[in-house]
Amino acid sequence: CVKRNILGRVLDILDNGIRLIKFKGNIEKIGSVPFPPYLSGTKADACDYQTIYAKYKGSSAAPTAGLHFTKRLLNKLRKNGIDLRFITLHIGLGTFQPVKTEYIQDHKMHSEYFILNQREANFLNQAKRAGKKIIAVGTTSVRVLESCVDSSGYLRSNSGETNIFIYPGYQWRFVDGIITNFHLPKSTLIMLVSAFAGRDFIMQAYEEAKRKKYRFYSFGDAMLII
């Protein structure tokens, strides 16, 4: 969201009316974080909408599953023998768009830039070979890992854009578990978790969450799917 006039040049018009614009000037000084529509009017600020381990600029939204992790919790995980590895994916605004096509497979997934370096790929491959479980924090991490698996079933370091669309019927190749928030109906995110655990099971879990008044969306509760 831009609060005052700024000069920009439209470089491309993408699907669903999204425009790629190059701005002249420092947009960070005159713009604001594009919070999801259901957070408008809240007292949330950019610090609240950021993970403690974020490193590189580029995302249009936060990987909200990561908002649950504090420095204290990460240290506790390490002390209990849990290895933590970090990858990069710049979330695009398309993550908020619902699926509107009649058939799921006709939906055009938005592309997002990612980086999986050689060091992290090697570490995760060694863990996989040792029989350890790979638990992805957030659907963004899931998409990166599943995008980088080669024909041998292991990760290959890579960087670029991925438009992988994971929905029921997808053949999983690397991820063993997912930590994720509760998602909007008809979203690609709820389709991803349904592909992992089965639609009926996910719907049952959501009904249970509603009965117990769990919080949904960005600042809501999380679920571990294994």
> What are the pLDDT digits (tens) for 38-48?
665 555 666 67
Residues near 63 by Cβ (< 8 Å), separated by ≥ 6? 51, 89, 91, 137, 138, 140, 141
Residue range 17-24: mean pLDDT, rounded = 77
Structural domains of the chain in order of their starting residue, each with its CATH number: 1-32 (no CATH), 43-225 (3.40.1780.10)
Query: What global pTM score does this model have?
Result: 0.85
Nearest to 195 by CA among 219, 164, 152, 217: 164
At 139, is the pLDDT very low, low, confident or very high (cuts 50, 70, 90)?
Answer: very high
Task: Burial-class residue 166 by CB neighbours within 10 Å (0-12, 13-18, 19+).
Answer: buried
Residue range 186-195: mean pLDDT, rounded = 93
Residue that the structure tokens 């420092």 belong to: 26
Residue range 48-71: mean pLDDT, rounded = 85
Q: What is the pLDDT of residue 45?
A: 64
> What are the pLDDT digits (tens) for 90-119?
988 777 778 888 898 898 888 899 999 999
At 6, is the pLDDT very low, low, confident or very high (cuts 50, 70, 90)?
Answer: confident
Q: What is the pLDDT of residue 123?
A: 98
Residue that the structure tokens 């809501």 belong to: 220
Residue range 131-144: mean pLDDT, rounded = 96
